[in-house]
Structure 1
Amino acid sequence: MLSKTDFRHAMSRLGAAVNIITTDGQAGRAGFTASAVCSVTDEPPTLLVCLNRSASVYQTFKGNGVLCVNVLGAGHQDISNLFGGKTPMDERFAAGDWSTGPSGSPSLEDASVSFDCRLSQITEVGTHDIMICEVVSIRVSEEARSLIYFNRQYHELSMG
């Protein structure tokens, strides 16, 4: 039988963009760091985001029904670590400059790209929910740069 440790080790070899997922609304403001984000379709523009149901932010995201996927770029390691740990929400959001997207979710001003979304479907798989998110607005930075997590380390990519 495949062990959880073996699976996690193998997954560390799958490089992925680092994202801060944010929400705000009646259930409150929250955010977390995630690499489990990907495109689903471009008609309608849709992403999926995976979130552990035992995460402290889970009920906030489910309750608000909106979120923003903020794709991090070079130099964002510190804010990624803040949103990935047990840091209080106010301290997490104090670390960046934020605006409000059409959904009401916080959008990181210097993100490489921000996808403002409404939650359209949730599917439970194991310990996580796959949140299907319809994109309602996109804000793209003029700088093409990316923060990647690979082999349990951050790596920066940039154009020219």
Structure 2
Amino acid sequence: MVVAEGGMDRGHAVMVARAPRPDGPFEGCPGNPVLSAAGTGWPEQNLGRADLGEADGGTALVCLGVRPVGLAKAFSPLGRGTFLADVDWVDDWPRARLTELPPAPAEEVSYDLGAPDALTNPIWIAVRQLPVAVAPPTPDGLLIRRTSGHTGLDGSRPAFVGRRQQH
């Protein structure tokens, strides 16, 4: 059994227990938590909500976490993301090793926002509607307009088009 413990913030952790039958009695892993970033300076934090699975001939642990930024490391602009950890088996218990990924390279992008298909790429987003419904392409670029149904940013259907954060 793989469970989350410690809340969803800095104390979040992955715990493991096993039993001879689904109804127990359960024995906790002596190495619990099998994965936690609590008290570490790792760039990944709040790791939890995990599951074990097979990957490339071995075992992997997939979990949720965040990559906080800023001086206080309290803000995560991408929200919770999915992380993958390799798993070693020690005395028949899993022990997760979070794999450090290299940072994504800086990306320079250029878009022809006047093209008829300018907003068909899924990197473009709008709130509760398709981006093209908010900002139809014109030969001069996108025209974001407030029409009936489109409201300000505090409304239910804001006249907003954005590009998804990827890194």
User: Which structure carries more relative contact order (alpha carbon 8 Å, separation 6+)?
Assistant: 1
Q: Which has the higher helix share?
A: 1
Which TM-score band applies after superposition, normalised by the shorter structure? under 0.3
Q: Which has the higher strand share?
A: 1
After TM superposition, the score normalised by the length of structure 2 is 0.25
Larger radius of gyration: 2
After TM superposition, the score normalised by the length of structure 1 is 0.25
